Amino acid sequence: MPGGSGGRAPRCVLAQLTTSNRDDPLNAVRAGTLALMVFARTMSHNLFGGSYFAESDWRGNYLVVSAAAGFLLASLLFAFQLRGRFQPGPGGGRLAKLLYAAIRRPEQLAFFVPVTVVTFMLALKMKTGMITVSWGIEAVLVFLLALAVNERSFRLTGLSLLLICVGKIILLDVWGLQPRDRYITLIVVGMALMVVSFLYTRYRDAIRQYL
């Protein structure tokens, strides 16, 4: 699928952020626009369209969406280098302010687009008993990434995913899952909470600097 969500568009986002002419704000605009296009296509076509994710062959298409998410996450390395480089001009309406906010913080789109896509993919395509487990693992990985890059919004995303897991267990999983899936879910999410609690305690002073 050369032109799909796992093809040219995510690589173009990476290319726009790594271009030698990084002082041109249009490159950041193009990268953000392409990231939103990847998000729209993946959500509407790859996930909810159902044309790629057939029940008999979902592994290959899982790799397509994962590749798109991987390219966007890889662009974080360069997006952080551009953070705060472009300042808003005088005046401008609400749309212009939103545009400048996206340009000033390109790492936000490069993070939230792939994380949102992966979260929905897990919810739609994992077995019912494994959704909470997969979200718990994703939450820990997001939290580890947040600690590595010292980004508050990333850390809050990981914590929010864990809270969603806990809420889902209390409201749905305890009552609706088979005993085996219920035990696996409780064990994995419990371990995820312990890992995040340990990391939060260990790096408490560093985390407080970014509250």
191-202 pLDDT per residue, tens: 999 988 888 888
Residues in Cβ contact with 199 at an 8 Å cutoff, skipping those fewer than 6 apart:
143, 144, 147
Looking at residue 56, its pLDDT comes to 44
pLDDT: is 100 or 77 the higher one? Answer: 77
Looking at residue 52, its pLDDT comes to 47
pLDDT: is 142 or 83 the higher one? Answer: 142
Query: Which pLDDT band holds residue 59 (cuts at 50, 70, 90)?
Result: very low
Other CB atoms within 10 A of residue 25 CB: 17
CA distance 80 to 17: 10
pLDDT tens column, 180-192: 888 998 999 999 9
Name the residue ranges covered by the structural domains of the chain.
Answer: 1-125, 127-211
pLDDT tens column, 7-39: 555 555 555 555 545 556 666 677 777 888 888
Upper half-sphere CA count for residue 10 (Cβ side, 13 Å): 28
Query: Which pLDDT band holds residue 164 (cuts at 50, 70, 90)?
Result: very high
